[in-house]
Structure 1
Amino acid sequence: MPRIASVLLPMPLPEAFDYAEPEGLELAVGDHVSVPLGPRTVRGVVTALRDGVGGNRRLKPVLNRVDDPRLPANVITFVEWAARYSVDVPGWPLAMALRGLRHPPAKPEKAVALTGVQPGRMTPARLKVLAAAQAGPLSAAELARQAGVSAGVVKGLVDEGALEPVLVAADESIAQPDLTLPAQTLNPSQKAAADEMADMLAAGGFQAALLDGVTGSGKTEVYLEVAAAALEADPAAQVLVLLPEIALTQAVMGRFEQRFGAAPIEWHSGVSPPRRRRAWEAVADGRARIVVGARSALFLPFTNLALIVVDEEHDGSFKQEEGFIYQARDLAVARAKIEGALVVLASATPSLESLWNAHQGRYRWLRLGARHGTAQLPDVHLIDMRATPPEPGRWLSPTLVKAVSLTLQKGEQSLLFLNRRGYAPLVLCRACGEKLKSPDSDSWLVEHRYTGRLVCHLTGFSMKKPEACPHCGAKDSLVSIGPGVERVEEEARYLFPDARIAVFSSDTVFDPAGARALVDSMAAGEIDILVATQAAAKGHNFPNLTLVGVIDADLSLRGGDLRAGERTFQLLAQATGRAGRHEKPGRAYLQTYSPEHAVLQALKAQDRDAFVEAEMAMREEAGLPPFGRLAAVIASGPDAEALEAYVQTLAAATPNAEGVEVYGPADAPLGLVRGRRRKRFLVRAGRNVDLPGFMAAWRARAKIPNSVRVTIDIDPYSFL
């Protein structure tokens, strides 16, 4: 009986397309297929099959099945759910789910193997090579390395016929976790949390837990044991650990390798395309039992996902804000529900949304109230910059300078934290007052002294710092305003010329290997003062770090971001929490011009509960998340008049819906980006409102001109 195959394409198309199933092809849901689309042949995934008898239209046939692992049905369900939730086309999340297949399989690799022929002359070095070759074909370089001999010894054995060149499949063997290795030694609080989550796993079905522990309380050790419980309970179970930063990946990989005797599969943008394909295939066929990766790992084709851990669940890096827009923390909960798995959200400073869900009983709330072992939380001090300002042209207060000096004298390490990249955030002309901006954008150019360039961190535009003002032509008139980490490093080198100083930011560390090398140097005591952005504020463990100095504690409190207080508390609590994580006590100094601010007072008192209570009360009164929901619409276009006409049409087409308020249109805070004008709507709704459904219906009521782009962001984190 003929059948119709619905095929979803990884393209910006609104739905799956129907194709006829050729006789004898016998397709199944999840199969990868080639299909015609206009004059092209494209690749897609079969999402449904139905009886084709009685159809009144002639369908193009599926051309062939592609020989790749079938996409599991739960992944298709997740892709379709994610698209509806994000008010986007399903082709985008499908493209993410197929990202590992963008590159062809790796070509066979050259290796050497035993022939059984004995060499005419035997030496101790040759014996070592022949013994190492018993394990199977290896590259000549790897065989020499394992035998501890020179490459010439291997070549000599090839020349004599004892070894022969062969081609082997470029398939990395996937080491399986050793579940017989001893478990971690947990303190009573950690063990209680691990046991409770193990019971949740044993109960089966979808469950969610918030693992809420102060910095240094040993949350990683807890979820390692939960992962062990999941893997022991089912020999085919798979575990996914999501991390907010690539820089954290290697440290967590090492912890897993130490616990299970095998490194997990790694998934993030720093993984090479061939390794990414092998990882995708290993996940799809079940060989990859533990995966550690960035937010996009959530779209991998797991066949038996039993546990998802979202580490540092509060972190804003889990929000994808370009392309397909989604919040990985929220989608992790949704995928766990689809898979019938346990999801664990771990943080020292949980998001207000997760805390609210825990309060409401939606998540099991597991708290670790003390640091592991004898370590104590650092003492936090506020430095009032109005009372003790730095010297003119400097950024470190006398109090902080003295604290760093004493720390150096004791042979301990300091972290100077400023969440601002580059040398200076603004370049100004003293002659005309012009603030240098990126061309066709409203964002300021940031000076980078290391490269001698001015860079736009929004658009990526870069230019050499000019000798004269581009606006008025005045020479030597450009001055740098405000500090970035490069400027703080410059000052630290001036004040402490004998100290070993390094900078940790995305401008100085370009890949996971560089991040790992810097973190290892810091952990080994090879750095005295680390000047860093938020790259160093998350998850790192430096045994000899006892002092944290925050240069501009007020920085993220400025502006109209409704999450400013929450973000500031989370970031600074994480940064100060790097100090005193072992036997030596820690101290933290926060430089501020507003020491009376409630966020800073809560940090000083280390009273998170008081901060959360006050922030929750403010959010509830305003109907903001987690008590209400938000969505944003950004419309952009090169023609200001056409853009204004569209947003006015869209405003007039707003559906009448109870419990929904629409604000705008208004100019976005960044009203011009890459030559495109930007307008913004903000939507506030009650929790009982189907917000994605409202947004989809609203967008459909106004035709979008070809020159205008419209982006919908459910639960926005950025308000630019």
Structure 2
Amino acid sequence: MSLVNGKRQADWFADEAGTDADGPYAGIVFNRPIDQIFSYRVPARLEEVVRPGQRVRVPLGRGNKPAVGYCVRIDAEAPSGIDPSRVKEVLDVLDDPPLINAAMLELTRWMAGYYACSWGQALDAVVPAGVKNQAGTRVGTFLTVPDEIRKSLETLELPTKQAEALAVLCRSDEPLTIADLCRLAKCASGPITALRQRGYVNTVRRRLPKDAFNASSSAALGDDSDAKPIPALTVEQTAVMAAMTPALEGDEFATFLIHGVTGSGKTEVYLSAIERVMARGREAIVLVPEISLTPQTIRRFRRRFGKIAVLHSHLSDAERHRHWRSIAAGEVQVIVGARSAVFAPARRLGLIVIDEEHESTFKQETTPRYHARDVAVKRAQLERIPILLGSATPALETWRNAELGRYVRLPMMERVGARPMPKVELIDLSHERLPLGGLSEPLRQAMIAALKDDGQVMLLLNRRGFHTFVICPNPRCNQVLKCHACDVALTYHKGRRLLICHTCDAERPRPSACPNCQAPNLHYGGIGTERLEREVEMAFPDSVSRRMDSDTMRTPGSHEQVLAAFRSGEIKILLGTQMIAKGLDFPNVTLVGVVNADTALHMPDFRAAERTFQLVAQVAGRTGRGDRPGRVLVQTFAPDHYAIDCASRHDYEGFVACELPERQRFGMPPFGRLVRLIGRGPDEPQVRTFMNELLETLKAAALPGVTMHGPAPTPISKIRNLYRYHLRLRSESPRPLQTLLQAVAPSIAPPGEVELAIDVDPVNLL
């Protein structure tokens, strides 16, 4: 199901007149919001070439403009209702072999139906840009020997150099360039030219990787020969592996939730499970929230398995294409990557692992708006393989699936080495005076003690910048300075002396007076990581500190450099945003401070409490992982809130017991399904009118059990000069929502520059 911006689907394919010749016919879909398979005749010259899963070039629309589509099926005859005389022909095939296998075609068709996009849009998300544009390849001229010449090779009478060159070419498993043959046969080009003139050698044009033209280049993927002894499994790890063994050693679909506290050894379970499937000649895909933030995990995988494919955002298109080819060729058995790695073209997939499955970064925020966790579960089901979901703080949707028996929960409640969970102390900021720099006196004293004892400190503050808002001091004005393009307060970055919008990245010079009333002496308030960094440097000048946020970690490798320096002990205090809370293991960290635990607690989002609990619990787990006990201090204005109270006690099930009844009361996930329809455009009245009309259309087709809320401005009502309104649809199961959207799709036509986005199972409600 997809929504077309003001055009009838037939308009895209008008005047598709062809010849009266018979089939076969190729079913083609396009990366456009058109939910339809279109038939094109396969000409005789391409009958042995065109296959499902390939990209093809076809004439499209009234102007017969060549367009690229995906072949999803081959029909022997014209489908019912199709006039063969009006069917055009496929012009060309772009991929050989096909980019998409049968299992991935089935997966993307499911994605199209579930996530309310077209099949072509889902397919286009699967194939990286570097693969589509064949980055890192070039066309070259290669030499081949005709079969009749090969058969009569021993009877040919040729000059010595020609005979030697022809023999070398016949022994080669692959076609050779002229330069390759000259080098291998140790001859000049003259004998080869003579062979070509006599018809003993043919030339062909082929597209190959650029490294195929350079014998000294290497296509090796990441490797690490610094192997370490494999640790013996703990009692809990052994029990978890035993529970998963039938699925790992057979062709059996099962979803396992490895619910392990921080430091319980979940990664070692992943490694052991991967070894099991590799022993059977199968491959494994491992999804992590952000590759750049998990260098330790990557190193462990490389030490264990040697050659692995690591897919991340800093790869060039040519590197992505090279990885894709290596994976598709079965040259690598372990693929580690972020969200899109769920589509890696593994030929004999045996296992999928999702680490920190609760992380919101697994949700794509552009069409198709898929959730990698849920797509991975579906892929595992289609390919009849097990999938492991690991987290210390599982998403409540995942927890509920385990409660209902859809997933198998495997608890790991003890830390490796029987290390205790760190003691967590709450600092009530409503009673404790908080200095402007963000460090309360108890936290400051705890830092002094930890550093004096040669420990390391981590400080979490999930706000960037120096000051998080700027406000006019005039009581008659009191205007907060906002971005001109977004409904968002500007953040002051002292190092750059700029006001910056953290939504669209717009920058403005620091004003000398209020832009609205011209009052001088603007008030700067709120604490960001830049301000915290200065406070730490002033309070602890003898201890090296570093800030880790998206402002300081812009260059490739910067994360790993800082983390390596922290691991070596060169850096004593590491402070930053939520990126320091994810999957880091530093045995010498004896103190973690949460500067403000409330940053997400009061957001207009039903998941606010869950995110607060997860963040505090995860960062608390960064300490006490070595031989020395850890300590956590959490500064908060809401110490009695169950999210913070339960996090301070490492009590996930206690949090669930408080949160789930609230979700059930309002029918929110995991007790209901949501679809969010977002209209946006430069003309606010036009957007508002369209969304009201959309509501009436939905009401006219309403199904029992579907409730509608809105339309209303989104919490962030304007982004990049586009006004935003949303409608929320809710039901107990996804089927009524899918049926409703499919029913109304043909009648929805956003006017002018208005765009409509459909977000199924939304993670971000702002």
Q: Deviations over 1:627-650 (max 9, x none)?
A: 111111111122223222212211
Paired letter, 2:114: Y
Residue in 2 that maps onto 1:685 = 731
Residue in 1 that maps onto 2:705 = 659
Residue 473 of structure 1 and its aligned partner are, at CA, apart by 3.6
Partner of 2:85: helix, strand, or coil?
A: coil
Partner of 1:373: helix, strand, or coil?
A: helix
**Counterpart contact for 2:117–2:367, Cα < 8 Å:** no
Paired letter, 1:515: H
Seen in structure 2, the aligned counterparts of structure 1 residues 462 and 69 have a Cα distance that, compared at 3 Å, is: farther
User: Aligned partners of 1:427, 1:177: CA distance in 2, in Å?
Assistant: 49
Partner of 2:600: helix, strand, or coil?
A: helix
Paired letter, 1:28: R
Deviation larger for 29-38 or 652-661: 29-38
Residue in 1 that maps onto 2:24 = 3
User: Aligned partners of 1:250, 1:507: CA distance in 2, in Å?
Assistant: 19
Paired letter, 1:713: D
Seen in structure 2, the aligned counterparts of structure 1 residues 481 and 350 have a Cα distance that, compared at 3 Å, is: same
Residue in 1 that maps onto 2:265 = 218
After TM superposition, the score normalised by the length of structure 2 is 0.82
Q: Work out which of the residue numbers 101, 122, 127 in structure 2 matches 1:72.
A: 101
Residue in 1 that maps onto 2:88 = 60
Residue 272 of structure 1 and its aligned partner are, at CA, apart by 1.5
User: Aligned partners of 1:281, 1:36: CA distance in 2, in Å?
Assistant: 29
Seen in structure 2, the aligned counterparts of structure 1 residues 561 and 230 have a Cα distance that, compared at 3 Å, is: same
**Counterpart contact for 1:336–1:342, Cα < 8 Å:** yes
- Paired residues for 1:167-178 under 5 Å: 167-168=214-215, 172-174=219-221
Residue in 2 that maps onto 1:187 = 234
Q: Deviations over 1:234-253 (max 9, x none)?
A: x2x22111111122343222
Identical-residue share of aligned pairs (%): 36
Seen in structure 2, the aligned counterparts of structure 1 residues 412 and 78 have a Cα distance that, compared at 3 Å, is: same
1:573 aligns to 2:627 (yes or no): no
Q: Which runs of 5+ in 2 are unaligned?
A: 1-21, 140-182, 184-212
Residue in 2 that maps onto 1:310 = 354
Paired letter, 1:59: V
Q: Work out which of the residue numbers 544, 548, 553 in structure 2 matches 1:500.
A: 544
User: Aligned partners of 1:531, 1:411: CA distance in 2, in Å?
Assistant: 17
**Counterpart contact for 2:135–2:317, Cα < 8 Å:** no
Seen in structure 2, the aligned counterparts of structure 1 residues 171 and 23 have a Cα distance that, compared at 3 Å, is: farther
Deviation larger for 490-499 or 199-208: 199-208
User: Aligned partners of 2:564, 2:481: CA distance in 1, in Å?
Assistant: 38
Q: Runs ≥4 in structure 1, deviation > 4 angstroms?
A: 174-178, 180-183
User: Aligned partners of 1:343, 1:511: CA distance in 2, in Å?
Assistant: 33
User: Aligned partners of 2:77, 2:383: CA distance in 1, in Å?
Assistant: 31
Residue in 2 that maps onto 1:628 = 672
Paired letter, 2:448: S
Residue in 2 that maps onto 1:715 = 761
After TM superposition, the score normalised by the length of structure 1 is 0.88
Seen in structure 2, the aligned counterparts of structure 1 residues 492 and 289 have a Cα distance that, compared at 3 Å, is: same
**Counterpart contact for 2:643–2:655, Cα < 8 Å:** yes
User: Aligned partners of 1:337, 1:461: CA distance in 2, in Å?
Assistant: 44
Paired letter, 2:540: F
**Counterpart contact for 2:604–2:715, Cα < 8 Å:** no
Paired letter, 1:676: L
Partner of 1:454: helix, strand, or coil?
A: strand
User: Aligned partners of 1:184, 1:15: CA distance in 2, in Å?
Assistant: 53
Partner of 2:270: helix, strand, or coil?
A: helix
Residue in 2 that maps onto 1:324 = 368
User: Aligned partners of 1:510, 1:423: CA distance in 2, in Å?
Assistant: 18
1:294 aligns to 2:352 (yes or no): no
- Paired residues for 1:78-97 under 5 Å: 78-97=107-126
Residue 328 of structure 1 and its aligned partner are, at CA, apart by 1.2
Paired letter, 2:45: G
Q: Work out which of the residue numbers 346, 369, 372 in structure 1 matches 2:413.
A: 369
Residue 512 of structure 1 and its aligned partner are, at CA, apart by 4.8
User: Aligned partners of 1:398, 1:105: CA distance in 2, in Å?
Assistant: 56
Q: Deviations over 1:82-139 (max 9, x none)?
A: 1211111222222221214144342589xxxxxxxxxxxxxxxxxxxxxxxxxxx9xx
- Paired residues for 1:481-492 under 5 Å: 481-492=525-536
Deviation larger for 99-108 or 620-629: 99-108
Seen in structure 2, the aligned counterparts of structure 1 residues 554 and 534 have a Cα distance that, compared at 3 Å, is: same
Residue in 1 that maps onto 2:51 = 28
Residue 511 of structure 1 and its aligned partner are, at CA, apart by 4.4
**Counterpart contact for 1:11–1:95, Cα < 8 Å:** no
1:429 aligns to 2:458 (yes or no): no
Q: Deviations over 1:180-199 (max 9, x none)?
A: 99754211111111232232
Residue 658 of structure 1 and its aligned partner are, at CA, apart by 1.3
Paired letter, 1:64: D
Paired letter, 2:270: Y
Residue in 1 that maps onto 2:324 = 280
Residue 615 of structure 1 and its aligned partner are, at CA, apart by 1.0
User: Aligned partners of 2:382, 2:560: CA distance in 1, in Å?
Assistant: 35
User: Aligned partners of 2:421, 2:490: CA distance in 1, in Å?
Assistant: 38
User: Aligned partners of 1:560, 1:105: CA distance in 2, in Å?
Assistant: 43
Seen in structure 2, the aligned counterparts of structure 1 residues 64 and 171 have a Cα distance that, compared at 3 Å, is: farther
User: Aligned partners of 1:183, 1:408: CA distance in 2, in Å?
Assistant: 33
**Counterpart contact for 2:597–2:635, Cα < 8 Å:** yes
User: Aligned partners of 1:175, 1:390: CA distance in 2, in Å?
Assistant: 47
Q: Work out which of the residue numbers 551, 563, 567 in structure 1 matches 2:607.
A: 563
Residue in 1 that maps onto 2:68 = 43
User: Aligned partners of 2:588, 2:33: CA distance in 1, in Å?
Assistant: 51
**Counterpart contact for 2:103–2:383, Cα < 8 Å:** yes
1:104 aligns to 2:134 (yes or no): yes
Deviation larger for 57-66 or 396-405: 57-66
Residue in 1 that maps onto 2:35 = 14
Residue in 2 that maps onto 1:461 = 506
Q: What is the CA RMSD across the aligned residues, in angstroms?
A: 2.3
Partner of 2:678: helix, strand, or coil?
A: strand
User: Aligned partners of 2:571, 2:542: CA distance in 1, in Å?
Assistant: 11
1:405 aligns to 2:448 (yes or no): yes
Paired letter, 2:120: G
**Counterpart contact for 2:702–2:740, Cα < 8 Å:** no
Paired letter, 1:472: C
**Counterpart contact for 1:423–1:449, Cα < 8 Å:** yes
Residue 657 of structure 1 and its aligned partner are, at CA, apart by 1.1
Partner of 2:330: helix, strand, or coil?
A: coil
Residue 499 of structure 1 and its aligned partner are, at CA, apart by 1.2
User: Aligned partners of 1:320, 1:669: CA distance in 2, in Å?
Assistant: 20
Q: Deviations over 1:60-83 (max 9, x none)?
A: 211222244412111111112112
**Counterpart contact for 1:268–1:296, Cα < 8 Å:** no
Residue in 2 that maps onto 1:541 = 585
Deviation larger for 453-462 or 210-219: 453-462
Residue 294 of structure 1 and its aligned partner are, at CA, apart by 0.7
User: Aligned partners of 2:224, 2:454: CA distance in 1, in Å?
Assistant: 39
**Counterpart contact for 2:457–2:573, Cα < 8 Å:** yes
**Counterpart contact for 1:171–1:278, Cα < 8 Å:** no
Paired letter, 2:576: A
Residue in 2 that maps onto 1:132 = none
Paired letter, 1:214: V
Residue 177 of structure 1 and its aligned partner are, at CA, apart by 11
Deviation larger for 570-579 or 83-92: 83-92
User: Aligned partners of 1:445, 1:383: CA distance in 2, in Å?
Assistant: 29
- The higher radius of gyration belongs to 2
Seen in structure 2, the aligned counterparts of structure 1 residues 177 and 394 have a Cα distance that, compared at 3 Å, is: closer
Deviation larger for 434-443 or 287-296: 434-443
Partner of 1:657: helix, strand, or coil?
A: coil
Seen in structure 2, the aligned counterparts of structure 1 residues 609 and 429 have a Cα distance that, compared at 3 Å, is: same
Q: Work out which of the residue numbers 206, 223, 244 in structure 2 matches 1:197.
A: 244
Residue 408 of structure 1 and its aligned partner are, at CA, apart by 0.9
Partner of 1:395: helix, strand, or coil?
A: coil
Seen in structure 2, the aligned counterparts of structure 1 residues 696 and 451 have a Cα distance that, compared at 3 Å, is: farther
Paired letter, 2:284: V
Residue in 2 that maps onto 1:420 = 463
User: Aligned partners of 1:651, 1:215: CA distance in 2, in Å?
Assistant: 45
User: Aligned partners of 1:643, 1:310: CA distance in 2, in Å?
Assistant: 39
**Counterpart contact for 1:69–1:281, Cα < 8 Å:** no
Seen in structure 2, the aligned counterparts of structure 1 residues 688 and 453 have a Cα distance that, compared at 3 Å, is: closer
